[in-house]
Copies of this chain bind each other. A is one copy, B any other.
Amino acid sequence: MVDIATRVYNHKWKIDPIVRSLIDTDFYKLLMCQSVFRNKPDTEVTFSLINRTTEIPLAELIDEGELREQLDHIRSLSLSRGESTWLRGNMFYGKRQMFRPDFMEWFENLQLPPYHLERVGDQYELTFEGQWPEVMLWEIPALSVLMELRGRAVLAPMGRFELQVLYARAMTKLWEKIERLRPHSGLRIADFGTRRRHSFLWQDWCVQAMMEGLGERFVGTSNCLIAMRREVEAIGTNAHELPMVYAALAGTDAALARAPYEVLADWHEEHEGNLRIILPDTFGSEAFFRNAPDWLAGWTGVRIDSGDPVEGAETAIRWWESRGEDPRQKLVIFSDGLDDDVIVDLYRRFAGRVRVSFGWGTLLTNDFRGLVDGDRLAPFSLVCKASAANGRPTVKLSDNPEKAMGPPEEIVRYKRVFGVGEQVRREVVV
């Protein structure tokens, strides 16, 4: 029986909003936001959207008016009472009151700042400028909106049953991955797929399928809204934007060399246990470990987010051993380019040597490869990064030169300051 009121209500919407909540974002964004709010609140930053897959002509696929409507809708959002209660009262990583009252009060009154959108050729230039704690919260919703609008453009001409079969195929594809993961009872996998998901509803389906299909092997999701609704753990620690901005703010080469560790010194004061996870690759992992202060070796683990993951983990293990730490007590979180086969390989290789965990992203929540003609739903490499801080450009080196960003002369300087040598190029899938 049709619920007439619901139907009429649904048809009153001018748009079908893609992002409907300020906490439809990654948990680490909120952790980092609180840290920035405390330590660097007045930093002026610019975040820029970059489509690394330039063959995909976003501006031809996505109507500018529709994109503006979606972005405007996000600016109209504010934290709901239930969301606020959850953030204030829920236990995250075993800790209550993770978010301090002053931060919560600020967040409860937040609306996202304006955006700048311009079409350049067949791409969009989308940038956000302003105070770091506000601007940084644009990253995930901006990516979600662009990914989902691109999907909608591809899906628009499809028939009803064709669509149902498309999702049937995607469901089967994910379920078969889950079936291949299930036999490995020691696996610990989290959903890290918000930023490049096919759509919100699809990510929500993926999380629920993982809950049923993987049981305790599925440890939670980076998406706060889904974590709240599905009553699973919110997962995440910190990202490259912290060292990138701290580094850009450094006035001298010596300050630059210290910047990555200052980030973690601030983090050390705020967090403990499983939140003390090193992300070593921003300016090259080898150099990071070489120059790391001793107290960092006491941290719980590392996240490997670029380069060869085996090499990355071996580097961390060698570093722990050289500092007298027992790697078997340490946590290695893999989060780059994962799919079920890579997960099983890495798990087999490192289980027993370290504690292993996986942050499974794009190929969890957006593996529509091969499902439509011309592969027009395949995920692509869209990022939204801090590109400047207080008027100075940011730089990322990464363990894969394909993922490096920043002005060429600055890249040269950073490589010199951090002592980064030759790096191996790896294809960036997503």
Q: Is the CB of A164 within 8 A of B171?
A: yes
Q: Is the CB of A168 within 8 A of B172?
A: yes
List B contacts of A212 (CB < 8 A): 159-162
Q: Which of A109-163 contact B (CB under 8 A)?
A: 159-162
CB distance from A392 to the nearest CB of B (A): 49
List B contacts of A161 (CB < 8 A): 175, 208-209, 212-213
Q: Which of A369-410 contact B (CB under 8 A)?
A: none
Interface assignment of A6: CB less than 8 Å from any CB of chain B:
yes
List B contacts of A159 (CB < 8 A): 212-213
Interface assignment of A103: CB less than 8 Å from any CB of chain B:
no
Interface assignment of A167: CB less than 8 Å from any CB of chain B:
yes
Q: Is the CB of A172 within 8 A of B175?
A: no
Q: Is the CB of B171 within 8 A of A175?
A: no
List B contacts of A165 (CB < 8 A): 171-172, 175, 209
Q: Which of A263-308 contact B (CB under 8 A)?
A: none
Interface assignment of A169: CB less than 8 Å from any CB of chain B:
yes
| B-contact bits for A2-40, CB 8 A (1 contact / 0 none) | 010110000000000000000000000000000000000
Q: Which of A182-240 contact B (CB under 8 A)?
A: 208-209, 212-213
Bound: A159/B175 CA distance, A: 13
List B contacts of A213 (CB < 8 A): 159, 161-162
Bound: A5/B175 CA distance, A: 34
List B contacts of A254 (CB < 8 A): none
Which has the most chain B C-beta neighbours within 10 Å: A159, A162, A168, A213? A168
Bound: A208/B5 CA distance, A: 27
Bound: A204/B169 CA distance, A: 20
List B contacts of A424 (CB < 8 A): none
List B contacts of A209 (CB < 8 A): 161, 165
Specify the chain B residue showing the minimal Cβ separation from A167: B168
| B-contact bits for A343-368, CB 8 A (1 contact / 0 none) | 00000000000000000000000000
List B contacts of A167 (CB < 8 A): 168
Bound: A161/B167 CA distance, A: 13
List B contacts of A5 (CB < 8 A): 1
CB distance from A388 to the nearest CB of B (A): 44
Which has the most chain B C-beta neighbours within 10 Å: A5, A6, A169? A169
CB distance from A361 to the nearest CB of B (A): 20
Bound: A160/B205 CA distance, A: 11
Bound: A213/B160 CA distance, A: 10
CB distance from A214 to the nearest CB of B (A): 11
- Nearest 3 A-B pairs (CB), nearest first? A168-B168, A165-B175, A168-B171
Listed by A's residue number, 24 A-B pairs whose Cβ atoms lie within 8 Å are A1-B3, A1-B5, A3-B6, A159-B212, A160-B212, A161-B175, A161-B208, A161-B209, A161-B213, A162-B175, A162-B212, A162-B213, A164-B171, A165-B171, A165-B175, A165-B209, A167-B168, A168-B168, A168-B169, A168-B171, A168-B172, A168-B175, A169-B172, A172-B172
**Further pairs besides A161-B175, A165-B172, A168-B172: 13, Cβ < 8 Å:** A1-B3, A1-B5, A160-B212, A161-B208, A161-B212, A162-B175, A162-B212, A162-B213, A164-B171, A167-B168, A168-B169, A168-B171, A172-B172
